[in-house]
Amino acid sequence: MKNISKIPALDVSHLTVSYGDSLVLSDCTVAIPQGVMLGIIGPNGAGKTTFIKSVLGLVPQQEGTVFICGQTLENARNRIAYVPQRSSVDWDFPLTVFDMVLMGCYGKLGWFKRPGTAELAQVQQALAAVGLSAYADKPIGTLSGGQQQRAFVARALVQDAQIYFLDEPFAGVDIPTEKIIIALLKKLCDEGKTIVVVHHDVLTAPTYFDWALLLNKKTIACGPVELVLTSQNLSHVYGISSVICAWDLKYQKSNQP
Amino acid sequence: MNYTLLLVLQGALLLGITSGALGTFALLRQQSLLGDAISHAALPGIVIMFLLTHSKDPWLLLCGGALAGVVGVVSMNYIVAHTTLKKDAILGIILSVFFGFGLVLMTVAQKIPVASQAILNKFLFGNVATLLKEDIYVVACISLLICAILTLFWKECAVYVFDPMFTQSIGFNVKIIEIILTMLLVLAIVIGLQTVGVVLMSTMLIAPAAAARQWVTKLLHMVVLAGIFGGCAASVGVYASSVIDHLPTGPAIVVAASIIVFFSLMCAPKRNAA
């Protein structure tokens, strides 16, 4: 059973971000209710990653306000879990899988405090949930791409957050990994957590997400997935009829009884 | 073994341990050149301090060096933030401009009619023969300080070096961590300059860390092993330069460190680099 508050999980108003002279996001206003699984969809360079990063304060906002569960970002830090793109770190770093996943509890511990037995138990649980228990003491450099992504997700599970941001978690991973991650995210969602996923694949979006944010340097549409990913909206963003045909085909299929 | 040599060996050991341990962070952050830039940038600071004070006290001169090193880092970050130049180009510019400026100032200093400017030469390639007991105490204090700070901020430094974006997302002020790591690096370099010299200091940071990486799978082990390798290289180099006439300490240490790196690359169990 979902126990969901009326306060939006993510409330973004007039968010504008630019890198140097180029405007990446302009005037994005989005309200996402708690307990939904949201896919951020859009073409390359649409500002999907920038949207997440600016919401999390990782790139400076030029204008706009962001509230997470009704709180400012600074007050909501411990309710947020962030899974960066897998390619953003050096996987040859001298670190075991266990120690990397343990980093998920550092935010709640704050400065100076060291993890205790409760945190270690959380890591074991998270590793079991993503099927990496056997790899706990292996160096992260020995993991395959899919296992790396699952380890990243395990680190987010340890964060025990209200709202999870994942940046392209399905890029270049194997099918079992994709299935494990999706099942985990759906479970979190059922517990009332909010999931925000940057996703590049329009075709799989309706099967994975119940909400969608269609982005192309500004908000095109945001809402339940069947209202957002319409052929009209998609042709507006992608401008390629072939994508739309494939999309309509798939969508009609999935809607048939 | 005479008393002076023993003293100098202690100093070299401490220096090697500290710079090796800190070099680990520079190596893992893919900032191997940063240490090189800071140590070269220290030279004009040392000479300016000498020109102002005419002092023979190496620690006073090294304060100038540390300041100039910080100025080097700050100007580097400024150029990074305000231009589209790549970081390696900026490091190269800072390194050569500061070092060239330092060499010009050294020529000026040589013309001053006081006897003490000979001390400046030892900062180029390092010379431990002049290390005094008090110097060893200063080196020991700074090394302890560096170890203490590293222990205190271990968790924060480790997560920041591995994944800076994630560290920021969980609410840590990454600027503070960055400043701590940079300051520690500057301190480690400053205490090394007398022994190894400006030109070869970066080897003391990078070689032990690169060798240690071949053997370990945990960050803590890498820091400790890099410290041990650094200490060994520095001791061997110092001993060699004390028994072989006219062998400058810096190059001797670098040769010792290179042998450790070579041995590690050849003999360490195959890592999963493929």
Q: Choose from A54, A82, A83, A91 for mutation: most chain B CBs within 10 A.
A: A82
Q: Which domain holds residue B70?
A: 3-267
Cα angle at A207 between A202 and A209, to 5 degrees? 80
Of the candidates B155, B170, B219, the beta carbon closest to that of A95 is on B219
- Residue B240 placed within a domain: yes
- Residue B192 placed within a domain: yes
pLDDT in tens, A128-171: 999 999 999 999 999 999 999 999 999 999 999 999 999 999 98
- Residue B274 placed within a domain: no
pLDDT in tens, A187-212: 999 999 999 999 988 888 888 899 98
Search chain B and give the residue with CA nearest A99: B218
Distance CA B249, CA B197 (A): 9
Give me A176's structure tokens: 């079992």
What's the distance, Cα to Cα, between the start and end of chain A in Å? 25
DSSP characters for B240-266?
A: HHHHSTT--HHHHHHHHHHHHHHHHHH
Is B162 close to A100, i.e. CB distance below 8 A?
yes
- Residue A41: is its pLDDT beyond 80? yes
- Residue B274: is its pLDDT beyond 80? no
CB B34 within 8 A of CB B185: yes
If one counts the domains in chain B, the total is 1
pLDDT of residue A126: 93
pLDDT of residue B212: 94
Is B169 close to A106, i.e. CB distance below 8 A?
no
Instruction: List, in sequence order, the alpha helices (H) in chain B.
Output: 3-28, 32-53, 58-82, 87-110, 118-125, 133-152, 154-162, 164-169, 174-196, 201-213, 219-243, 249-267
Residue B102, domain CATH? 1.10.3470.10
Residue A139 DSSP class: B
pLDDT of residue B272: 45
pLDDT in tens, B161-205: 999 999 999 999 999 999 999 999 999 998 888 888 888 888 999
A33 half-sphere exposure, CB direction, 13 A CA radius: 12
Cα angle at A64 between A59 and A67, to 5 degrees? 85
Contacts of B163 in chain A (CB under 8 A): 84, 88-89, 103
- Residue B273 placed within a domain: no
Contacts of A114 in chain B (CB under 8 A): 155
- Residue B272 placed within a domain: no
Name the phi and psi angles at A73, rounded to 5. Answer: -55, -45
Distance CA B17, CA A136 (A): 30
**Residues present in chain B in total:** 274
Distance CA B272, CA B274 (A): 5
pLDDT in tens, A119-135: 999 999 999 999 999 99
ipTM of the complex: 0.87
CB A199 within 8 A of CB A170: yes
Residue B102, burial from CB neighbour count under 10 angstroms (0-12, 13-18, 19+): buried
Q: Average model confidence (pLDDT) for chain B?
A: 88
A139 half-sphere exposure, CB direction, 13 A CA radius: 19
Nearest C-alpha neighbor of B19 from the set B218, B193, B221:
B193
pLDDT of residue A243: 55
Contacts of B273 in chain A (CB under 8 A): 92, 141
Alpha carbon of A24: minimum distance to chain B alpha carbons (Å): 18
